[in-house]
Amino acid sequence: MTARKLFNKYNYLILIIPALLLYTLFIAYPFISSLFLSFFKWPGIGPKLFVGLDNYKNVLTGYMSREFFRALGHNFYFLFLNWTLSIVPGIILALSLAAGIRGSDFFKTIFFIPNTLSIVIVGFLWALLLNPQWGMINQVLKAVGLDVLAKAWLGDTKLALPTIIVITGWRGMGFYVLTFLAAVVGIDHSMLEAGRIDGASENQIIFKLVLPQMVPIITTVTILKIIWSFNIFDIVFAMEGTQGGPAGSTDVLGTLFYRIAFGGLGSSQVGMGLGATVVTLIFLIVFPVSVLYIYIIERRELRG
């Protein structure tokens, strides 16, 4: 085939070039480049020094390891608690909305409002509301005689991280409710009718027919949650600052990375290479889950 004929046959491919170019240059290439950078010592300017696995040694067993594993633990804790706080209430609220009560459109709108707000703004708002002295939350608790519960929510090393996770859950709930609701509404009604004809109670219908149908969406949401949980940054930054205070009790991989790569530690530790190492390690945690997600999407698509 001549070049001209080839061009005529495939000239529609021109339409995909802008997407491909932008995506390759600004998403795909940086991922690979980041991996390379993790083998170098480099403060961001000047020559790069190849150091082999030194960055990894420093992060995993060396002077950064204590901070790294503490942050990693916090990310896992975040994932676990945030998952629990989103999935179960999310399903309950979705089923409630699906029940066919009047005004459910109104509730859907209300539930989604926090989701439309920027995470940092949510963080700043709640930091004011949770202020130990003047914040609304403690003022309410004191007013109803629950003074013992009026804690320093964001200033206590034991309470700060759970508090942040609850706030994250508050903001995100609308998304989970609506996503679950889509799955519930999508269930074939004739199947539920058939169940009723066979004498199933409404409880049985929910537990034996509806919930099993929701397993795929729960899987998807869980996967997305794993990916997101290892990327949290904004909410901690807004509520506790780049140091992940108090005393590092809310420090996560995102804030640790930010300090290393973009300042906030002392100059000796600031480094693009070391930062790239932390990011690569996060990537290694997320990657298997990501592959699983793509696999699931693909399989569902092939099935139609």
Partner 1 sequence: MFRLNTLQKTVILTILIIWALVNLFPLGVMVVSGFKTTREIFLSPFSFPAHWSFKSYKEAWSVANFSTYFKNSIIVTIVSITATLFIASMAAYVLARFEFPGRRALYLFILAGLVLPVRLAIIPIFLLIRKLGLSNTLVSLYIVYTAGGISFSTFLLTNFFKSIPMDIEDAARIDGASYFRVYWQIHLPLLRPALATVTVFNFIRVWNDFFFPLIFINDNTKKTIPLGIQNFFGEYSIQWDLLFAGLNIAVIPIIIFFIILSKQFIGGLTEGAIK
Contacts of the segment 47-55: beta carbons below 8 A, 24+ positions apart: 48/273, 51/273, 55/273, 55/274, 55/276, 55/277
- Residue 20 or 158 having the CB closest to partner 1: 20
From the number of C-beta atoms within 10 Å of its C-beta (0-12, 13-18, 19+), residue 105 rates as exposed
Minimum distance, C-beta of residue 171 to partner 1, in the bound complex (Å): 10
Q: Give least dist CB 12 to partner 1, A.
A: 4
Q: Which helix (H) or strand (E) holds 203?
A: helix 202-204
Judged by beta carbon, residue 158 or residue 219, the one nearer partner 1 is 219
Of 117, 146, 149, 191, which one interacts with partner 1 (CB under 8 A)? 117
- What contacts 155, CB < 8 A, 6 or more positions away? 132, 246
Q: Could you tell me where the DSSP H helices lie in 13-64? A: 17-23, 29-37, 54-60
In the complex, the smallest distance separating the C-beta of residue 161 from partner 1, rounded to whole angstroms, is 20
* Residues contacting 226, CB < 8 A, separation 6+: 79, 286, 289
CB of 204: closest distance to partner 1 in angstroms?
12
Piece of 48-56, 59-67, 156-164, 189-197 that binds partner 1 (CB under 8 A): 189-197
220 binds partner 1 (CB under 8 A): yes
Q: Does 209 bind partner 1 (CB under 8 A)?
A: no
Answer yes or no whether residue 198 interacts with partner 1 by CB under 8 A.
Answer: no
16 binds partner 1 (CB under 8 A): yes
Question: Is 49 a binder of partner 1 (CB under 8 A)?
Answer: no
Interface with partner 1 includes 279 (CB under 8 A)? yes
With CB under 8 A as the contact rule, the residue among 72, 160, 164, 276 that binds partner 1 is: 276
Q: Please give the residues from 164 up to 183 whose contact with partner 1 meets the rule CB under 8 A.
A: 170, 173-175, 178-179, 181-183
Binds partner 1 (CB under 8 A): choice among 52, 100, 145, 266: 100
| d(C-alpha 204, C-alpha 193), whole Å | 12
Q: Of the two residues 136 and 158, which places its CB atom closer to partner 1 in the complex?
A: 136
Q: Which residue has the tokens 């080839």?
A: 6
Going by C-alpha positions, the residue among 2, 55, 108 that lies closest to residue 280 is 55
The span from the CA of 245 to the CA of 75, in Å, is: 15
Dihedral in degrees, nearest 10, Cα atoms 167, 169, 174, 178: 180
Q: Does 189 bind partner 1 (CB under 8 A)?
A: yes
User: How many residues make contact with partner 1 (CB under 8 A)?
Assistant: 107
Q: How far lies 95's CA from each of 87, 269, 294, in Å?
A: 12, 50, 28
Rounded to whole angstroms, the Cα distance separating 271 from 143 reads 50
Please report whether residue 261 would count as binding partner 1 according to CB under 8 A.
yes
Give the residue with the Cβ less far from partner 1, 158 or 288: 288
Can you tell me which of 87, 162, 234, 269 binds partner 1, judged by CB under 8 A?
A: 234
Residue ranges in 55-84 that form contacts with partner 1 under rule CB under 8 A? none
Asked if residues 150 and 142 have their Cβ atoms less than 8 Å apart, the reply is yes
